[in-house]
Structure 1
Amino acid sequence: MAPPSPSKQLVLAASSVDAGVAAWDLRTGAEDIRLRPCASRPRALASVAGRFLAAAQAPSAGGNSGPIHFFHWEKPQVAVKSFPADPIRALIADDEGSYLIGGASNGSIFLWEVSSGELLHTWRAHYRAVRCLALYDYLLVSGSEDGSIKVWDLITVLDEQSRLEAQTPYLYSFSQHALPVTDIACFLGAIAVSSSEDRTCKIWSLSEGRMLRSISFPTSIDCVALDPRSHIFYAGGRDGKIYVTAMGVDFSSHDCDESSILGALDDHSKAVTSLASSTDGLLLVSGSEDGNVRVWDTRSQQVTRKFKHSQGPVTNVLIVAPKRVKLPPLQPLRKVCSANGEVNSTTVILPRPENDTPIPGNKTSVFMENFLEKLQKHGCSSMLFDSGLNAQNGAPNQQGAEWRGRYLELQDLFVHEVLDQIPSSRDQ
């Protein structure tokens, strides 16, 4: 089968049973390729910058290990198999495809460098399994089976000196969900939406470290997707409905906040397990336990395409534009860190998602990007914000502390500009 063209967009779907990863052409609806074998749980499928696909496998019945499969677009077979120390429940890659981050069944998080397969760092993040991960800029957000959400500063995570100086290993910890967290999505880098089995979605300020709103639903919510054009998100329910929800309406203490739920998309017979929005927000893809995949026109709220994946449940859907690039041989992911268990990273992770929607009149985010690009051009590494001793003369690195302070001030200013534009029916 011919490899996909660079401009082609594919709808990908995976199941928790070994039915492979199915791919359909978003424009024509024709099935493109089926990658086998693959049996992945929700949030365990990740496109690595469109260059290849990574899929964490669910452990077999009675087993306690699950490999990670790498697939090339031009071959239906597994290109590389890796065997992490613990089964990976959630998987995510940064937009540049430099790093792969996995949340494990025992609550740990693993961070690998893709090019070398090197395990840069691993740490115990939660008491129970990590169910979902979201990444924007230098922030990693993890949601767990234990109901908690934690926000991690990846600059601190990758820098040993910063970790030693930090009061807590995480930036923020939230425990307002009463049951397992099922999904997390980030909006404009400063706001996150989480879903839970407790029938709520909660909206968080990642800069201020607080919950902004909580919205109740008539059913448990298994997945969320954001509309990049507006302050609307989609929530996939266990009742088979996709709830169209306003982010800027305050919550009600009752079982269902009807003022926040603007409507519902209804074409699945079982629970909606996964959602994916196109970068322009005009299309929404849904996967369900009924084994079906739907493509929705968000303007008309009608189904434009229907795909049947398999007899088993669909657990993951993605919209991917595959890139035909000559890849160096993919390296298996390491089980343990090299040397003494620590690796001095030489890179600052600052992903910039393609679905970032500029705010009219907002200059702060542009200034932040230009500021950081200048810093990186001067050869800054993960010690960019190091406030320890200067390596040359033993003096405190005041410039590093000053840069970190300026960066955080800019981030706070950006968040306030975003929040000021979110409508609310009443004050907090």
Structure 2
Amino acid sequence: MAPPPRKLVLAASSADAGVAAWDLRTGAEDIRLRPCASFPRALASVADRFLAAAQAPPPGGNSGTVHFYHWDKPQVAVKSFPAEPIQVLIADPEGSYLIGGGGKGNLFLWQVASGELLHTWHAHYRAVRCLALYDYLLVSGSEDGSIRVWDLIMLLDEQARLEANTSYLYNFSQHALPVTDIACFLVGVVVSSSEDRTCKIWSLSEGRMLRSISFPAIIDSVALDPRSHIFYAGGRDGKIYVTAMGVDVNSHGSDDSSILGALDDHRYAGYLVDVHSVYKAVTSLAASSDGLLLVSGSEDGNVRVWDTRSPVTNVLIITPKRINLPPLQPLRKVRSSNGEAEARALILPRPENDVPIAGNSSSIFLERCLDALQKHDGSSRLFEPGMSTLYGAPNKQGTEWRSRYLELQDLFVHEVLDQLPSSGGT
């Protein structure tokens, strides 16, 4: 039987620490590619054949390079020198094209096989911060707060470009601050995050916003769960918010009810200052193709792998009451494991500090009957079916008291249920 294919987790930093690659199953470091100091969103795997990483320019410099690495060699294989520093990189799934976004708002489209620059165009007024692909559609987000959708087929057709009114299909400007990340879902739905503390959900087929979800912190990264309509949002407060997309709700307002929960191990990675934790922002997220694992990176320099399969097996809604309860007692056996009656089952007296249920007189009456039973016989065998007298005859009095007890219990239960508020007929 062939071993499972190797899966690597890659991480890079703006500091020149190289690209670290770990085995996803074992956690062991596989290789470290040097040198590398890249922007956020500037690492791209080209059809898993090789790696491309746009380099941040040195302090005071205005030019950057793009490094290409093979998986079996730690050093740079090829260097490319674009016209301006590339801040974000993305490749199509087949590895035919490489697309880069520049610090001046320009986009570049290269053919991988030849290295030829097929097209360049001015896409945004400020730097391009993030890119995403859905089939032949390219989605770009910028520091100017805008999101634009581009048809790559039209961009490569010079005649089509000349005939089009605008070079983009859609221009979304609902974000008030810079866009930080973009992710595309398989059904043509886009999720964007921004420094305005919202994530917005867009329809590529309709060209409009479906929802806007507010968060308690700035969101720097998003990742989609391919199994369901939820996404993960990495915040600058160190939390990863688990959020329902809810694309079936056509809401144009702000909606924070879709936040299902949060993973917040990242927030405890810093030192303590007074009584507050130093929160480390979650800067990047990636979900496995089966959705079972989520990988996060943060400003604390740690990469964490989360198991998203942790099941929820019980859900209750309660209203806790603060009452003076007696010490809990272990339960006594009523029957043994072989089905025979157990003679040492006890009915414990009601503690002095127990709190009766207000308004239920039958509960008090029932307890008084039980007290009378114990005083009358002094044993707990009256409610045990099959118990007999010394000569084997049925205990008639015990059977009669047991019947009364069951009737009183039934009356008590019905009285409690009648006083509960209605739950819509259920």
TM category, shorter: 0.5 to 0.7
1:281 aligns with 2:281: no
**Mapping for residues 294-309 of structure 1, pairs under 5 Å:** 294-300=304-310
1:212 and 1:136 map into 2 onto residues whose CA distance is 17
2:70 and 2:40 map into 1 onto residues whose CA distance is 21
Higher Rg = 2
1:129 aligns with 2:130: no
State whether residues 210 and 252 of structure 2, in contact with CA within 8 Å, keep that contact through their aligned partners in structure 1: no
Paired AA for residue 90 in structure 1:
V
Match of 2:209 among 208, 211, 230: 211
Per the alignment, in what secondary structure is the counterpart of residue 78 of structure 1? coil
Paired AA for residue 12 in structure 1:
L
Cα-to-partner distance string for 1:31-65 (whole Å, 9 max, x where unaligned): 00000011111110000000000000111111111
The structural deviation recorded for 1:129 is 0.3
Paired AA for residue 74 in structure 2:
P
The structural deviation recorded for 1:105 is 0.4
Q: Judging changes above 3 Å, is the alpha-carbon distance between structure 1 residues 82 and 111 closer, same or farther for their aligned structure 2 residues? A: same
Cα RMSD, aligned residues only: 1.6
2:69 — aligned with what?
A: 71
Q: TM-score, normalised by structure 1?
A: 0.68
1:264 and 1:57 map into 2 onto residues whose CA distance is 33
- Superposition misfits of 4+ residues, deviation over 3 angstroms: 249-254
State whether residues 215 and 252 of structure 1, in contact with CA within 8 Å, keep that contact through their aligned partners in structure 2: no
Paired AA for residue 21 in structure 1:
V
Higher relative contact order (CA 8 A, sep 6+): 1
Structure 1 portions without partners, runs of 5+: 303-428
1:180 and 1:71 map into 2 onto residues whose CA distance is 31
State whether residues 151 and 170 of structure 1, in contact with CA within 8 Å, keep that contact through their aligned partners in structure 2: yes
The structural deviation recorded for 1:252 is 8.7
State whether residues 265 and 301 of structure 1, in contact with CA within 8 Å, keep that contact through their aligned partners in structure 2: no
1:111 aligns with 2:109: yes
**Mapping for residues 312-351 of structure 1, pairs under 5 Å:** none
1:101 — aligned with what?
A: 99
The structural deviation recorded for 1:258 is 4.1
Per the alignment, in what secondary structure is the counterpart of residue 310 of structure 2? coil
State whether residues 211 and 252 of structure 2, in contact with CA within 8 Å, keep that contact through their aligned partners in structure 1: no
1:202 and 1:123 map into 2 onto residues whose CA distance is 26
**Mapping for residues 368-379 of structure 1, pairs under 5 Å:** none
**Mapping for residues 164-179 of structure 1, pairs under 5 Å:** 164-179=162-177
2:235 — aligned with what?
A: 237
Match of 1:33 among 28, 31, 34: 31
The structural deviation recorded for 1:299 is 1.6
1:51 — aligned with what?
A: 49
1:272 aligns with 2:270: no
Per the alignment, in what secondary structure is the counterpart of residue 95 of structure 1? coil
Cα-to-partner distance string for 1:322-367 (whole Å, 9 max, x where unaligned): xxxxxxxxxxxxxxxxxxxxxxxxxxxxxxxxxxxxxxxxxxxxxx
The structural deviation recorded for 1:148 is 0.2
Paired AA for residue 308 in structure 2:
T
1:150 — aligned with what?
A: 148
1:120 aligns with 2:118: yes
State whether residues 209 and 252 of structure 2, in contact with CA within 8 Å, keep that contact through their aligned partners in structure 1: no
Structure 2 portions without partners, runs of 5+: 268-279, 313-426
1:357 — aligned with what?
A: none
The structural deviation recorded for 1:71 is 0.4
Per the alignment, in what secondary structure is the counterpart of residue 155 of structure 1? helix
1:248 aligns with 2:258: no
Aligned residue pairs, count: 296
1:397 — aligned with what?
A: none
